[in-house]
């Protein structure tokens, strides 16, 4: 498990898939609001003039000297729901991210979001 304090240090590091293919650059970390543990990261992908932020789970992520390796393929991450570089994740779009990765999605008892940016 990667702890919140550790993963923040990896902002702007390369994010690679299990085979070492570069997906993009780590932009931000989102924690699970129930546990406050890292759950997702946004990865800056796309052409320099058309960047967007794709979401990728951090459930089995490992750290290398200059990269974060996730357990999802580059193709899957690039097809994941995304937001613009200057946009925020709308609450109604959260569930689609979890569905894309076949992960369970559960809001809080009062309808709170499952993800919060740190």
- The domain defined by 7-117 carries CATH number 3.90.50.10: yes
Cα atoms found within 13 Å of the Cα of residue 24, Cβ hemisphere only: 28
The pTM of this model reads: 0.86
Residue by residue, pLDDT tens for the chain (118 residues) are: 555 556 667 788 999 999 999 999 999 888 888 888 889 999 998 776 677 899 999 989 988 888 999 999 999 999 998 887 777 888 888 999 999 999 999 877 677 788 888 7
* Helix or strand holding residue 78 (H, E): helix 74-78
Q: Domain ranges for the chain, please list them.
A: 7-117
């Amino acid at each position: 498990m990667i702890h919140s304090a550790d993963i923040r240090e990896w902002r702007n590091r390369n994010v690679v898939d299990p085979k070492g293919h570069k997906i993009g650059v780590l932009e931000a970390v989102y924690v699970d609001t129930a546990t406050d543990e890292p759950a997702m990261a946004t990865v800056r992908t796309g052409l320099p003039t058309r960047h967007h932020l794709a979401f990728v789970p951090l459930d089995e992520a490992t750290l290398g000297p200059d990269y974060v390796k996730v357990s999802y393929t580059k193709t899957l991450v690039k097809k994941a729901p995304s937001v613009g570089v200057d946009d925020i994740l709308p609450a109604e779009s959260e569930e689609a991210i979890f569905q894309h990765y076949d992960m369970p999605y559960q809001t809080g008892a009062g309808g709170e979001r499952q993800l919060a940016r740190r």
